[in-house]
């Protein structure tokens, strides 16, 4: 059940102006060229930078207190730069989930959380957002340390986005309206949009705090209580923000955080009879298990955000330089560990050769190294399992006769760094064009016309996202409707504003997170009908 994926992010401020793209275009190499190692250079003996943060919280957060696991067991969480232990963390299991559910149940059934005014709930969330900003450097350092993502990305994009999301959802708390409903006769009909109750939430390791925000934000805004399981690779930051939530005035028991493994803690949450709702982000295979556990227990409604193999389609009229840059970003962002990664780069035959040449050049320039160094674009993969899996797919690409344009090996000799890898001449039936690799491996495919590329883009069990690059309005409109994907980015990619719904068609999931649509996941609809005597109108 190890949550192994998520949804990437990049605020638009980024794509317009910010360090990511400008650096990647080679303009900002001042710091970069000095400290950074490119994937081609060998600098294995460099010192690992010490993160400027202490690990203060390693125990489960249950009913407002940090507590050991019932079993007393712990597990190590590792630094992906070295594979060394950062800290030992309490290992939650069924018994701990039971305790957490009991606390959440009490907090929901007896209050005060759902019995507070929506305005009071919103103020707790707004205070929390302020605290996230106040502690953004510690949070970013912890996130980077545990996950391996670049500190700059965590600090300048992700943590601000966490605050932004909680302000978004805080604003929803007092705007959840039911409806009054036209009746066919003398009845007064209304609908109440009520909190569901205790929500179980299982989040992945690729964007630990952002996924926390996508899950916890709507659940709290709607008045639910929560048992959240973090990924075993990245348990640290959620505890930290859990502490901040208590500081912000969240009553005990409203948000309970259990670190642990999928097969134990995750499964017991999904099959718990007192959990009213489950939301999961992770792999499609695990999503199927989760839904099966819900079906076999109490039929809790399930929201799933699962895998993807998203097409990135470059038409012949596209701005090639921009398309190359965004295709690079769409795939390599966050070490390629994005569920919506643009992992099938379809390029029109007329611009294919130019595109491949430039995509290769861009990948060769990608700056790989210690994520705490300034100017670094790519850190290590999250753990050895992911590292090995990505390397296996690279071998599979070579064996299936795709052309390895660049990369293909490890960077350095410790940790889980992988060279930015580009394959061209990829065919639809190759494994690297079908499976979710979840690593820095770009697959470039050639196409001839619109009909063909629509068909090929849709010929997958996934349907999470797509990128479309064209200057033609007709092409953009046609392809936007034809693609069976939950998000279509036209001449952009990974735009993740809080208001934009995100989720999958087909086996990429059920339901939508973010935006107004996300509230449905945490509300029950109750119809209330009363007869009217002598009504002035119907």
Which residues belong to the active site? 305
The least distance separating another protein from the CB of residue 18, rounded to whole angstroms, comes to 11
How far is 327 from 351, CA to CA, in rounded Å? 14
Which of 21, 508, 61 is closest to 285 using CA atoms? 508
Contact criterion met (CB below 8 Å) for 224 and 199: yes
Coarse DSSP helix, strand, coil percentages of the chain, rounded to the nearest 5 percent:
40, 20, 40
What sign for the dihedral angle of Cα 30, 36, 37, 38?
negative
Residues between 456 and 515 that touch another protein (CB under 8 A): 461, 476, 480-481, 485-492, 495, 497-503, 505-507, 509-510, 512, 515
The least distance separating another protein from the CB of residue 489, rounded to whole angstroms, comes to 5
Can you give the three-state secondary structure of 115-176, one letter per residue? HCCHHHHHHHHHHHHHHHHHCHHHHHHHHHHHHCCCHHHHHHHHHHHHHHHHHHHHHHHCCC
Judged by CB under 8 A, the residue of 189, 361, 364, 398 near another protein is: 189
Of 200 and 509, nearer to another protein (C-beta) is 509
Residues between 323 and 382 that touch another protein (CB under 8 A): none
Contact criterion met (CB below 8 Å) for 206 and 97: no
The least distance separating another protein from the CB of residue 264, rounded to whole angstroms, comes to 20
179 binds another protein (CB under 8 A): yes
291 binds another protein (CB under 8 A): yes
263 binds another protein (CB under 8 A): no
Of 125 and 340, nearer to another protein (C-beta) is 340
The least distance separating another protein from the CB of residue 295, rounded to whole angstroms, comes to 4
Which of 252, 441, 253, 270 is closest to 344 using CA atoms? 441
How far is 275 from 477, CA to CA, in rounded Å? 42
Stretch of 289-297, 334-342, 351-359, 420-428 contacting another protein, by CB under 8 A = 289-297
531 binds another protein (CB under 8 A): yes
The least distance separating another protein from the CB of residue 83, rounded to whole angstroms, comes to 35
Element (H, E) at 280: strand 277-281
| Total site size for another protein, rule CB under 8 A | 71
Of 106 and 164, nearer to another protein (C-beta) is 164
Judged by CB under 8 A, the residue of 35, 183, 404, 431 near another protein is: 183
How far is 255 from 213, CA to CA, in rounded Å? 12
Of 155 and 492, nearer to another protein (C-beta) is 492
The DSSP 8-state label assigned to residue 250 in this structure reads P
Residues 6 or more apart whose Cβ sits within 8 Å of residue 200: 101, 226, 227, 228, 229, 269, 270, 272, 275, 277, 278, 279, 300
Classify 299 as helix, strand or coil: coil
538 binds another protein (CB under 8 A): no
Stretch of 23-31, 257-265, 287-295, 373-381 contacting another protein, by CB under 8 A = 287-295
The least distance separating another protein from the CB of residue 302, rounded to whole angstroms, comes to 8
The least distance separating another protein from the CB of residue 442, rounded to whole angstroms, comes to 21
Judged by CB under 8 A, the residue of 96, 276, 305, 436 near another protein is: 276
Of 186 and 401, nearer to another protein (C-beta) is 186
Q: Phi and psi dihedrals of 490, rounded to 5?
A: -105, 120
The least distance separating another protein from the CB of residue 14, rounded to whole angstroms, comes to 9
6 binds another protein (CB under 8 A): no
107 binds another protein (CB under 8 A): no
Contact criterion met (CB below 8 Å) for 76 and 85: yes
The least distance separating another protein from the CB of residue 504, rounded to whole angstroms, comes to 9
535 binds another protein (CB under 8 A): no
186 binds another protein (CB under 8 A): yes
What sign for the dihedral angle of Cα 273, 278, 280, 286?
positive
Stretch of 12-20, 26-34, 91-99, 232-240 contacting another protein, by CB under 8 A = 12-20
528 binds another protein (CB under 8 A): yes
Of 45 and 499, nearer to another protein (C-beta) is 499
Judged by CB under 8 A, the residue of 209, 238, 241, 304 near another protein is: 304
Residues between 156 and 175 that touch another protein (CB under 8 A): 164
Judged by CB under 8 A, the residue of 54, 296, 384, 448 near another protein is: 296
Classify 231 as helix, strand or coil: coil
Classify strands 509-510 and 302-305 as parallel, antiparallel or unpaired. Answer: antiparallel
Contact criterion met (CB below 8 Å) for 209 and 242: no
Of 374 and 506, nearer to another protein (C-beta) is 506
Q: Which residues of 273-296 are buried (b: 16+ CB within 10 A; e: fewer)?
A: ebbbbbbbbbbbebbebbbebbee
Provide Rg for the chain, Cα atoms: 23
284 binds another protein (CB under 8 A): yes
Contact criterion met (CB below 8 Å) for 327 and 366: no
Judged by CB under 8 A, the residue of 98, 191, 396, 425 near another protein is: 191
């Amino acid at each position: 059940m190890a949550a192994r994926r998520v949804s990437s992010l990049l605020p638009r401020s980024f794509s317009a102006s910010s360090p990511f793209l400008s650096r990647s275009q080679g303009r900002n190499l001042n710091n970069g060229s000095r400290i950074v190692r490119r994937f081609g250079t060998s600098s294995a003996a460099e010192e690992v930078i010490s993160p400027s943060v202490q690990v203060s919280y390693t125990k489960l957060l249950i009913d407002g207190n940090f507590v050991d696991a019932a079993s007393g067991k712990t597990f190590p969480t590792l630094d992906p730069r070295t594979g060394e232990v950062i800290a030992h963390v309490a290992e939650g299991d069924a018994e701990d989930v039971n305790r957490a559910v009991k606390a959440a149940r009490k907090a929901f059934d007896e209050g005060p959380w759902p019995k507070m005014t929506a305005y009071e709930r919103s103020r707790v969330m707004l205070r929390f957002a302020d605290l996230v900003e106040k502690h953004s450097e510690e949070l970013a350092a912890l996130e980077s340390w545990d996950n391996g993502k670049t500190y700059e990305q965590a600090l300048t994009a992700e943590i601000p986005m966490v605050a932004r999301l909680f302000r978004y959802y805080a604003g929803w708390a007092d705007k959840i309206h039911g409806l009054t409903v036209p009746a066919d006769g003398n009845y007064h009909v209304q609908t109440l949009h009520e909190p569901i109750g205790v929500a179980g939430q299982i989040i992945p390791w690729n964007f630990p705090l952002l996924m926390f925000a996508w899950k916890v934000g709507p659940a709290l805004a709607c008045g639910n209580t929560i048992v959240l399981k973090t990924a075993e690779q990245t348990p640290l930051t959620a505890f930290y923000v859990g502490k901040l939530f208590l500081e912000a005035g969240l009553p005990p028991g409203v948000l309970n955080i259990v670190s642990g493994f999928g097969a134990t803690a995750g499964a017991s949450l999904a099959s718990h009879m007192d959990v009213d709702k489950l939301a999961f982000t992770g792999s499609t295979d695990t999503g199927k298990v989760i839904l099966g556990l819900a079906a076999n227990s109490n039929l809790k409604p399930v929201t799933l955000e699962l895998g993807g193999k998203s097409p990135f389609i470059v038409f012949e009229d596209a701005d090639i330089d921009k398309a190359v840059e965004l295709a690079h970003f769409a795939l390599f962002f966050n070490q390629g560990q994005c569920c919506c990664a643009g992992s099938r780069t379809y390029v029109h035959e007329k611009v294919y050769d130019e595109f491949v040449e430039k995509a290769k050049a861009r990948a060769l320039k990608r700056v790989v190294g210690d994520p705490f160094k300034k100017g670094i674009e790519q850190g290590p993969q999250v753990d050895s399992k992911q590292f090995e899996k990505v390397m296996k797919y690279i071998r599979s690409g070579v064996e299936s006769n795709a052309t390895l344009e660049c990369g293909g090996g490890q960077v350095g000799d410790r940790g889980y760094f992988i060279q930015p890898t580009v394959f061209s001449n990829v065919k639809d039936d190759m494994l690297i064009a079908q499976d979710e690799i979840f690593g820095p491996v770009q697959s470039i495919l050639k196409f001839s016309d619109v009909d063909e590329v629509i068909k090929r883009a849709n010929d997958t069990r996934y349907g999470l996202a797509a990128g479309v690059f064209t200057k033609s309005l007709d092409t953009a409109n046609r392809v936007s409707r034809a693609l069976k994907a939950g998000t279509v980015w036209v001449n952009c990619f990974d735009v993740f504003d809080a208001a934009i719904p995100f989720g999958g068609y087909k086996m990429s999931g059920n339901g939508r997170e973010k935006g107004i649509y996300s509230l449905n996941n945490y509300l029950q609809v109750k119809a209330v009908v009363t007869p009217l005597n002598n009504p002035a109108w119907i």
